[in-house]
């Protein structure tokens, strides 16, 4: 039972997978380096995985990246982030990114709700 449906975030993620596979085939070296950079960014113990995903959510909102929002909101949720933690995180993104970030913040909260609803099914 989704709260709002401006965008279907789980479907967006699913539809992006084939396009990402094509990108990996077209630019294998670049995408291998990108995967390695992602792995390196997730290393270390100073920040737990949930915090790292929450940071990624805030940055996704601030830079207005729909695919980033869908992947990192779900990543944060899978690492135990609550709706309240998502809300506080995107609150900081709005503060840092002003009006345009507020519009994406609404979408990030919608993405969380859709994933939570889907997980509850």
- pTM, rounded to two decimals: 0.78
Distance in angstroms (rounded) separating the CA atoms of residues 115 and 72? 11
Contacts of 82 (CB under 8 A, 6+ apart): none
Q: To the nearest whole percent, how much of the chain has pLDDT over 70?
A: 98
Q: Residue 116 CB: number of other CB atoms within 10 A?
A: 18
Q: What is the pLDDT of residues 41-66, one digit of tens each?
A: 999 999 999 999 999 999 999 888 99
Q: Are 120 and 82 in contact (CB under 8 A)?
A: no
pLDDT at 103: 83
Q: Choose among 45, 113, 39: nearest CA to 77.
A: 113
Distance in angstroms (rounded) separating the CA atoms of residues 99 and 104? 9
pLDDT at 114: 92
85 versus 107: which is more confidently predicted? Answer: 85
Distance in angstroms (rounded) separating the CA atoms of residues 14 and 70? 10
pLDDT at 18: 92
Name the pLDDT band for 2 (thresholds 50, 70, 90).
low
Q: What is the pLDDT of residues 61-70, one digit of tens each?
A: 988 899 999 9
DSSP string over 39-69? HHHT--SSS-HHHHHHHHHHHHHHHT-HHHH
């Amino acid at each position: 039972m989704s709260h709002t449906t401006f965008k279907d975030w789980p479907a967006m993620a699913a539809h992006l997978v084939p396009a990402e596979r094509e990108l990996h085939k077209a630019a294998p070296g670049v995408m291998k380096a990108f995967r390695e950079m992602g792995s390196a960014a997730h290393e270390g113990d100073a920040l737990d995985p949930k915090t790292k995903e929450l940071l990624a959510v805030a940055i996704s909102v601030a830079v207005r990246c729909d695919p980033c929002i869908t992947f990192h909101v779900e990543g944060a949720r899978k690492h135990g982030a609550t709706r309240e933690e998502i809300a506080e995180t995107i609150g900081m993104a709005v503060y840092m990114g002003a009006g345009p970030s507020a519009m994406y913040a609404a979408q990030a909260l919608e993405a969380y709700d859709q994933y939570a609803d889907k997980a509850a099914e």
